[in-house]
A = this chain, B = another copy of it.
Amino acid sequence: MAKIGVMIDNMFEDVEYTSPVKAFKDAGHQIINLGIKKGTVKGKKGKASAQIDERIRESDYNYFDAIFIPGGCSPDNLRGHPEAVEFIQNFFNTNKPVFAICHAPQLLITAQLIEGKKITGWKSIVQDIKNAGAQFLDQEVVEDGNLISSRSPDDIPAFISACIKKLE
């Protein structure tokens, strides 16, 4: 059983949180929602909400076996907060799995973690990914070292499969 930290804020892409989280739980893994402050964060479609279990500024990155970053406007909100940028930098450098979907690479770009890496993401951020020195691949799942990435809600089944395989 892996302890998966989910970095999340308001305006997340609803299904990019709910579907993977359900699949991870069904596979026996533990979910800990990490946010800027305690309370509830809401999806941009108004279909889902998430309860923040721990504030990122109080979280120990060593505690987690994997970090999952859902998309929507949540990653852009998170990267405006230095503690979120620092947290993912510290975790990423442990070489444990990081799961990034849709707009999630935005947080990794601000944390300067993707230079030289193969990655995918939502179409609007392709130029940002390239400008960060990464290789953008237009595939449903891209795996490069500890990083697994997908483009959009359509890729969720393949994303989940790759993430769960990585956790085995």
Contacts and interface: CB of A to CB of B under 8 A. Distances in A.
Contact of A127 (B11, B77, B109, B124): B109
A131 interface: yes
Tell me the interface secondary structure of chain A in the complex: helix
Nearest to A78: B124
Contacts of A103: 76
Contacts of A124: 76-77, 79-80, 106, 110
A128 interface: yes
A109 B131 CA distance: 9
A129 to B, nearest CB: 9
Copies of this chain held together in the complex: 2
A73 interface: yes
A162 interface: no
Interface string A100-133: 0001001001101000000000111111100111
Contacts of A110: 124, 126-128
A11 B44 CA distance: 10
Contacts of A77: 124
Interface of A: 11, 44, 73, 76-77, 79-80, 103, 106, 109-110, 112, 122-128, 131-133
Given A73-B73, A76-B124, A112-B127, 20 more contacts: A11-B44, A11-B73, A76-B76, A76-B103, A76-B125, A77-B124, A79-B124, A80-B122, A106-B124, A106-B128, A109-B127, A109-B131, A110-B124, A110-B126, A110-B127, A110-B128, A127-B132, A128-B128, A128-B131, A128-B132
